[in-house]
Amino acid sequence: MFCKQNVEDAVNSTVGCSLDRRSFMRCALASGAALGMAAVAEPAAASSSSAASETQDDARFIVEAKFYQKLPNRKIKCKLCPRECAVGDKERGYCGVRENRGGTYYTLVHSRVCAAHVDPVEKKPLFHYLPGTNAFSIATAGCNVNCKFCQNWNISQSRPEQIPAEYISPQRVAEIAKQYSCPTIAYTYSEPVVFAEYIMDAADAGHAAGIRSIVVSNGYMQEEALKAAYGKMDAVKIDLKSFTESYYHNVVTGQLKPVLDSLVTLRKMGKWTEIVYLVLPTLNDSDQEFRGLAQWIKTNLGADVPLHFTQFHPEYLLKNLPITPVPTLERAKAIADAEGLHYVYIGNVPGHPAQNTYCPKCRKMLVERVGFTADQVLIHKNSCPFCQQPIPGIWHA
């Protein structure tokens, strides 16, 4: 059975380790929030000057950014996400993991892994992608939004130097995935948009070794960067936080339209995409919003794109809200079903029948899920074995 210590040992077997056992275990356990466990990484004191405190080991994490524009007076404009941060010399962008050094923009988190774990792919969640398999899941510090409900805020809202991390090269990521029989590398927990260069290199290394890549993202990304980075992915899961601009502004500190544009672009690229909508009581749980969301998905992406309505658990800055009532999730699903979406799921509610996959034509159960495990998968040659209805997804390696 896999445990986090195995990952530590695998990393240390070929890579010089700059952390002791306790430090590495802390950073590996930072992914625990996604498991429903308390995150335990303890931030270190931030340096007032990253360049002054930088060690030789830190230099391994620093790679020139791919998506930026040089401006006069050693300024740059970031072209990675819709913020388009204008960054002066010796300053960082909003995400805190990209820095202008003399007019050249650098990512500070290439191969700087602060969370590593083997997860079931259903936990991402991806329900129509290699069910029953595991993904070697990794993250670096940083995010380009600040969701008030973030469950991994301790890594997503930290600067790289504030949390323990380990150097894991793209090639080593692929080796570890293969070592633990993971057909997939997953970029998750924080926000892969901000470590785009790393996921691109890791995906290339993975593909060379026969390992696929998936990304769990907020989709808040510029089109050119999305095509370049997510073009290397084999599947994408997008967290669509809400269907109103006001929610994105007040709760996410982002914008809705660029995320919708990203979903349309992914569709045009032919990338297998699933959508998660975290339902927060009183904030994004109206019938009108559920209906508008379902109608938009059907019109712009198609009825076969899986939509997951997920239960909220109080975390970070929204501990005053209750857990999402199951009837609210069932109401959301009923509305989306009525609007003609074929695969609507309820997430974070163990044992709920809406975690299973059913044929949209004959209604027979095709994938039964118990927790994060696909207990049985009846889909044969991408079709329902009972009525031969095609079932979209990536079902077999």
Q: Read off the pLDDT of residues 279-293 as tens digits, 9 standing for 90 and up.
A: 999 999 999 999 999
Assess whether the previous peptide bond of 325 is cis (omega < 30° from 0): no
Q: Each residue of 290-305: pLDDT tens digit? A: 999 999 999 999 999 9
pLDDT at 47 over 60: no
| Torsional sign, CA 30, 33, 37, 40 | positive
Strand partners, 121: none
Q: What's the confidence (pLDDT) of residue 12?
A: 40
Q: Is residue 184 classed as helix, strand or coil in its secondary structure?
A: strand
Backbone angles phi, psi at 263, to 5 degrees: -60, -40
Residue type at 244 in one-letter notation: T
Fold for the domain defined by 1-44+57-239: TIM Barrel (3.20.20)
pLDDT at 83 over 80: yes
| Torsional sign, CA 333, 334, 335, 340 | positive
Q: Is residue 276 classed as helix, strand or coil in its secondary structure?
A: strand
Q: What's the confidence (pLDDT) of residue 371?
A: 87
Q: Each residue of 178-209: pLDDT tens digit? A: 999 999 999 999 999 999 999 999 999 999 99
Where do the domains of the chain lie?
1-44+57-239
Tell me whether strands 365-370 and 373-377 are parallel, antiparallel or unpaired.
antiparallel
Compute CA 337 distance to the chain's CA centroid, rounded to the nearest angstrom.
26
Which residues are within 8 A (CB) of 39 and not within 5 positions of it... i.e. 6 or more apart? Answer: 29, 30, 32, 33, 152, 153, 154, 155
Q: Decide: 396 and 128 in contact? Cβ < 8 Å.
A: no
Which percentage of the chain shows pLDDT scores above 90? 84
Residue linked to tokens 């559920």: 290
Tokens of 350: 């163990």
Q: What's the confidence (pLDDT) of residue 281?
A: 98
